Structure 1
Amino acid sequence: MAQNKTLASRLREVLLDGHWIANTNYKEQLLKTSWQQATQKVGNLNTIAALTYHINYYLAGLLNAFESGKLEISDKFSFNLPPIHSEAEWNQLLTDFLNNSEKFADTVEQMQDDIFDQPFIDEKYGTFLRNIEGVIEHSYYHLGQVSLIRKMIMECNN
């Protein structure tokens, strides 16, 4: 399988429809999470909504970088989730996240394989491949947190 197809498949696995690595994915976890659960604090952990915003921040920022050639995101803003006070606001975050997930995987799938070894925006950021694999790894890391926080919330509410 071509590298672009393999990477797109791995992105869809963690974000949209896979079960192979984590036996779940973001879409599955988030669609069964109410806005109250998404915003519920568990100790000093991030909320599910904050983690969703965080991953979406990077997806949107990298999509913009793919299109513009400029990296305009910063780690210090990646958890700046506006307050969520309703189901409509949670659903908007979910819609944005799922749309960006699909667009990100589709964009990677359309890339020519020779781009993956090229520098991403600036050589200090590594290659396109390193950055896309970083999205996959970062997403699995936080998917584990989402799953555990969701289980803790379900336990507390029973």
Structure 2
Amino acid sequence: MERNVFLANRLREVYLDGRWIANTNYKDQLLSVNLELAIKQIGDLNTIAALTFHINYYLEGILNVFNGGKLEISDQYSFDLPPIETEADWESLVGSLLGNAEKFTDAVAQMDDQLFDEVFVEEKYDTYLRNIQGVLEHSYYHLGQIVLIRKLVSVSSVS
């Protein structure tokens, strides 16, 4: 299997329709969360909304590079979630993440194999392949947090 297809399939698994690694994905987790659960704070943990914004922030930033733009994202802003006050705000954030996940997956699926070994923006950022693999690892890490926070939020809502 070619790298572009393999990586696109892995991305689709974590975001849109997979169950192999975590037995769930972002779409399954987030479409069943309402505003109250999305913004519920448990101790000093990030909220589900904050994690959703965080993952989407990186997808948007890297997609911008894929589309010929500059790398304009910075870790220091990756949790700067704008106020989420209505169900429509929450649904818009989820829709943005899922839409960007689809675009990101499609972009990777269309990549020429040699691009994966090319420098991503600057040498300090390594290669396209390393960045895409990083997106996968980062996404699974935060998906696990979302699953656990959902459980904690559900327990605290019942109490």
Matched residue, 2:76? 76
Q: Percent identity?
A: 61
1:31-50 to structure 2, matched below 5 A, reads: 31-50=31-50
Instruction: Measure the CA separation in 2 of the matches of 1:69 and 1:35.
Output: 33
Contact 1:14–1:140 (8 Å) recurs in 2: yes
Q: 1:141 is aligned with what amino acid?
A: Y
Q: Which runs of 5+ in 1 are unaligned?
A: none
Q: Which runs of 5+ in 2 are unaligned?
A: none
Instruction: Measure the CA separation in 2 of the matches of 1:43 and 1:32.
Output: 22
1:6-155 to structure 2, matched below 5 A, reads: 6-155=6-155
Contact 1:12–1:105 (8 Å) recurs in 2: yes
Instruction: Measure the CA separation in 2 of the matches of 1:9 and 1:141.
Output: 18
Instruction: Measure the CA separation in 2 of the matches of 1:98 and 1:69.
Output: 21
Contact 1:11–1:136 (8 Å) recurs in 2: yes
Instruction: Measure the CA separation in 2 of the matches of 1:82 and 1:58.
Output: 15
Structure 1 residue 111: Cα displacement = 0.2
CA deviation profile, 1:42-81 (whole Å, cap 9, x unmatched): 0000000000000000000000011124211100000000
Structure 1 residue 87: Cα displacement = 0.2
TM-score (norm 2): 0.98
The worse-fitting range, judged by mean Cα deviation, of 73-82 and 63-72 is 63-72
Q: 1:73 is aligned with what amino acid?
A: I
Q: How many residues align?
A: 158
Instruction: Measure the CA separation in 2 of the matches of 1:69 and 1:106.
Output: 17
TM-align CA RMSD: 0.7
Structure 1 residue 98: Cα displacement = 0.6
Contact 1:69–1:121 (8 Å) recurs in 2: no
Instruction: Measure the CA separation in 2 of the matches of 1:94 and 1:24.
Output: 16
Q: 1:39 is aligned with what amino acid?
A: I
SS of match in other structure, 2:21:
coil
Query: Which aligned runs of 4 or more in structure 1 are off by greater than 6 angstroms?
Result: none
